[in-house]
C-alpha cells in the first residue's frame, strides 16, 4: 500500500458551544478537540483506508499523550512524532460564525514544540521510508522562522527521494509575524515562493494564490493556474477550492483541478450548503480527497469531483476532521445529496 506522510503542527482546539460569543461562553465550558491542517489531512486519509503518517513535535505531558492517542484511534501512524522537553502544545480558540457574523480564531501557539524543534532532530530517512507522497501546508512555515526552515528542509528531503509533494497553501493573516517589521503578506510571499520550487501539487483558494504568490487574478481561473505552473515548473497540478458565501451559515462550495501535461482545467459541481455545521477543515478534506484520488489512479475529472464532494461533506461535521467514508463521498458525487436517512 502507498504511504503518505504529512508534517505540521497539531493544536488543542477550544471552541465555544454552538454559536456563542467568547464573552458568553467564558468563564464556562469550551469544546476541546485536536486540530491542524496536516493532521486533519492525515486523519481523513486514514479514515479512507490510506496508510497515513503524521509527523510533528509535541511536549512530554499528558495532554500531548492524549493528542497522540486520538490520532492513533483514527488509524494515523504516529511513530515519528517527537516528544520534547522544551516547548508546548499550541492552542487555538474558535468562535463559530453564523448568518452575517463571521467566525473568529485566536491563536496561542508561540514557542510550541514544533515551532522550536530544528530539522536535525527528525530522522528523515525513517520518516520517508516507503513514502510516495508528502504533504505540508503554508501554515507550518508561518509559525516561526525555525518552522519555516524545517518545512523547506522537509520538502527538499522528500524531493531528493523522488517523493511527490503536495502543498496546501492556507494563508493565515494572523500568522507570519516572525520577521518584523516585514508585513505578513510580504514574508509569506518570499517564503512560499522558495518552498514551491520543490512542490509537485499546488492546492489553495484563489485568495491564497494571490496573497502568497503576488499573482493577480483577473476572473480567469485557467489563466491563473497556467501562470502558477509557468512560474513553478515542477508542478504537475494546481488545484483550487472555490467558495462563495452569502452568510456564514450558507455557502456554495466547488473545486477545480488544472493538469499541466494536458493544459486542461476541470471543474467540479457546485454544492449549495444551506446549513454549515463547521467550515474549518473543509479545505483539508478537499486536499485529502484529491490525494486519495491520485492514489487510486483516478482521472482528473474524477479526482476533483471526489475532492470537492469530500470538502462539501466536511461542512456537515463538527471539528476539523472529516469523518466521511468513501461510500458517502461517492454517493454525493453521484447526486445523492438529499440527506435521506440510511435505514
pLDDT at 239 over 90: yes
Picking from 26-35, 49-58, 239-248, which range would have the lowest pLDDT averaged per residue?
Answer: 239-248
At 244 the pLDDT is 87
pLDDT at 340 over 80: no
Domain 37-57+124-333 class? alpha beta
At 337 the pLDDT is 60
C-alpha 63/C-alpha 85 separation (Å) is 14
- For the residues of 214-226, what is the DSSP string, one character each? -PPP-S-HHHHHH
C-alpha 122/C-alpha 154 separation (Å) is 9
Report helix, strand or coil for 23.
helix
Question: 85 φ, ψ to 5°?
Answer: -75, -25
- SS percent in the chain: helix, strand, coil, step 5: 40, 25, 40
C-alpha 279/C-alpha 315 separation (Å) is 5
Q: What is the mean pLDDT of residues 34-61?
A: 97
C-alpha 193/C-alpha 150 separation (Å) is 15
At 342 the pLDDT is 63
Q: Which residue has the higher pLDDT, 213 or 135?
A: 135
C-alpha 142/C-alpha 119 separation (Å) is 16
Looking at every residue in the chain, the average pLDDT score rounds to: 94
At 248 the pLDDT is 76
CB contact set of 169 (below 8 Å; sequence gap of 6+): 137, 138, 192, 202, 203, 204, 205, 208, 209, 212
Q: What is the mean pLDDT of residues 33-59?
A: 97
At 43 the pLDDT is 97
- Per-residue pLDDT of 255-312, as tens digits, reads 999 999 999 999 999 999 988 888 898 999 999 999 999 999 999 999 999 999 999 9
C-alpha 271/C-alpha 337 separation (Å) is 9
Q: Closest Cα partner for 42 from 34, 31, 53?
A: 53
At 127 the pLDDT is 98
How, if at all, do strands 201-205 and 237-245 pair? parallel
- Per-residue pLDDT of 148-197, as tens digits, reads 999 999 999 999 999 999 999 999 999 999 999 999 999 999 999 999 99
Q: Which residue has the higher pLDDT, 336 or 259?
A: 259
Contact 159, 168 (CB under 8 A): no
Residues paired with residue 134 on neighbouring β-strands, in sequence order? 5, 165
What predicted TM-score, i.e. pTM, was given to this entire model? 0.95
Q: What is the mean pLDDT of residues 246-259?
A: 88
At 278 the pLDDT is 87
Q: Domain residue spans in the chain? A: 37-57+124-333
- Per-residue pLDDT of 315-333, as tens digits, reads 999 999 999 999 999 999 9
CA dihedral 182, 185, 186, 187 (to 10 degrees): 70
**Reported confidence tier of residue 335, pLDDT bands at 50, 70, 90:** confident
At 149 the pLDDT is 98
Question: 106 φ, ψ to 5°?
Answer: -120, 120
Question: What share of the chain has pLDDT > 90, as a percent?
Answer: 86
At 250 the pLDDT is 83
C-alpha 331/C-alpha 306 separation (Å) is 10
Q: Closest Cα partner for 79 from 62, 61, 56?
A: 56
C-alpha 91/C-alpha 80 separation (Å) is 21
Question: 194 φ, ψ to 5°?
Answer: -70, -45
**Reported confidence tier of residue 341, pLDDT bands at 50, 70, 90:** low
C-alpha 57/C-alpha 7 separation (Å) is 10
Picking from 93-97, 130-134, 142-146, 212-216, which range would have the lowest pLDDT averaged per residue?
Answer: 212-216
Q: Closest Cα partner for 90 from 19, 27, 174, 201?
A: 174
Q: What is the mean pLDDT of residues 54-58?
A: 98
How, if at all, do strands 3-7 and 51-55 pair? parallel
Amino acid at each position: 500500500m502507498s504511504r503518505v506522510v504529512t508534517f505540521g503542527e497539531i493544536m488543542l482546539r477550544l471552541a465555544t458551544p454552538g454559536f456563542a460569543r467568547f464573552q458568553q461562553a467564558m468563564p464556562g465550558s469550551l469544546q476541546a478537540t485536536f486540530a491542524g491542517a496536516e493532521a486533519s489531512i492525515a486523519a481523513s486519509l486514514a479514515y479512507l483506508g490510506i496508510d497515513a503518517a503524521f509527523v510533528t513535535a509535541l511536549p512530554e505531558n499528558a495532554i500531548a499523550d492524549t493528542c497522540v492517542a486520538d490520532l492513533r484511534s483514527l488509524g494515523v501512524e504516529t511513530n515519528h512524532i517527537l516528544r520534547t522537553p522544551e516547548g508546548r502544545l499550541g492552542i487555538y480558540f474558535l468562535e463559530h460564525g453564523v448568518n452575517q457574523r463571521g467566525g473568529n480564531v485566536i491563536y496561542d501557539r508561540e514557542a510550541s514544540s514544533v515551532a522550536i524543534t530544528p530539522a536535525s532532530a527528525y530522522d528523515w530517512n525513517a520518516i520517508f521510508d516507503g513514502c510516495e507522497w508528502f504533504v505540508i501546508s503554508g501554515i507550518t512555515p508561518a509559525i516561526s522562522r525555525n518552522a519555516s526552515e524545517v518545512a523547506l528542509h522537509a520538502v527538499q528531503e522528500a524531493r531528493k527521494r523522488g517523493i511527490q509533494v503536495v502543498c496546501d497553501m492556507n494563508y493565515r493573516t494572523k500568522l507570519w509575524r516572525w520577521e518584523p517589521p516585514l508585513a505578513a503578506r510580504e514574508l509569506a510571499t518570499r517564503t512560499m515562493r522558495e518552498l514551491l520550487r520543490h512542490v509537485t501539487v499546488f492546492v489553495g483558494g484563489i485568495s491564497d494564490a494571490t496573497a502568497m504568490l503576488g499573482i493577480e487574478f483577473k476572473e480567469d481561473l485557467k489563466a491563473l493556474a497556467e501562470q502558477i505552473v509557468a512560474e513553478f515548473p515542477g508542478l504537475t497540478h494546481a488545484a483550487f477550492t472555490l467558495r462563495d458565501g452569502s452568510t456564514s451559515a450558507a455557502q456554495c462550495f466547488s473545486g477545480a483541478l488544472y493538469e499541466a501535461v494536458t493544459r486542461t482545467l476541470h471543474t467540479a459541481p457546485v454544492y449549495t450548503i444551506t446549513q454549515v455545521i463547521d467550515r474549518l477543515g473543509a479545505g483539508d478534506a478537499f486536499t485529502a480527497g484529491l490525494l486519495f484520488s491520485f492514489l487510486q489512479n483516478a482521472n482528473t475529472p474524477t479526482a476533483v469531483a471526489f475532492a470537492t464532494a469530500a470538502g462539501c461533506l466536511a461542512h456537515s461535521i463538527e471539528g476539523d476532521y472529516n469523518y466521511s467514508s468513501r461510500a458517502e463521498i461517492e454517493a454525493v458525487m453521484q447526486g445523492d445529496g438529499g440527506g435521506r436517512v440510511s435505514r
